Amino acid sequence: MRQHRPPGTPWSTGPAASSADDAVPRGPRVVERGPEHRRTFVVVDGLVALTAAGGAAALVAGVGTPDVALLAPLGLHSWVLPGLWLAASVAVPSGAAAVLAARRDPRTPAAVFVAAGLLVVELVVQVPVVGPSVLQAVMAVPASVTGLLALRARAGGTWGRVRRFSRGSRAPGAATPPRARGA
């Protein structure tokens, strides 16, 4: 059952009698959109960072690792160095991209693109060492999707521009010093 509200009140069903209602612009509702693909970057790069950190920890700890004989041609005798490489080349960049996206930082598309590229490099390096696997194919999906979305977000212009300030300059919105006010 519909409730009747007095005319002139918000969402009233009667005629508008208030001049305040006339001040409200009529027409299509404009919705501000945030930076393109922000949630996707936060979720996907966050998950990639977590899985890479978990994989790096497992390699360093020697839990569930492939045979060490695979590393003999490289002169390695344990999975510690590959684990550190995984952390440095995938977990850290993807985590940084997710954090930048969560903070709506204008550098996000570039960071996501770099993280996606480093993940692709990691996957390409793995193939000659451990051979092709399903995990590499699965991880190629977020790398390619986030890389392409980062290019699209950068071209879309919804992330804004990075502002660099030289020494002594003020950030936008900073208070004007008292001596510079009024002439």
- Sequence-distant (6+) residues with CB within 8 A of 4 are 13, 14
Paired tokens of 143: 């790398």
In a domain, 148, yes or no: yes
Examine residue 89 and state whether it is found in any structural domain, yes or no: yes
Instruction: Flag whether 31 is in a domain.
Output: no
User: Does residue 53 lie within any of the structural domains?
Assistant: yes
- What does the pLDDT look like over 127-172, one tens digit per residue? 998 899 999 999 999 999 999 999 999 888 777 765 555 555 555 5
* DSSP 8-state assignment for residue 57: H
Concatenate the DSSP letters of all residues of 71-82 into one string.
GGGGT-SSSHHH
- For residue 20, being part of any structural domain is answered with no
Q: What is the residue range of 120's domain?
A: 38-156
The identity of residue 128, as a single letter, is P
pLDDT digits (tens, 9 = 90+) for 20-45: 555 555 666 655 556 889 999 999 99
Within a domain: residue 171?
A: no
Q: Is residue 57 in some structural domain?
A: yes
Residue 94 reports pLDDT greater than 80: yes
Confidence of residue 80 (pLDDT cuts 50, 70, 90): very high
Per-residue pLDDT tens over the stretch 109-120: 999 999 999 999
Q: Is the pTM of this model over 0.85?
A: no
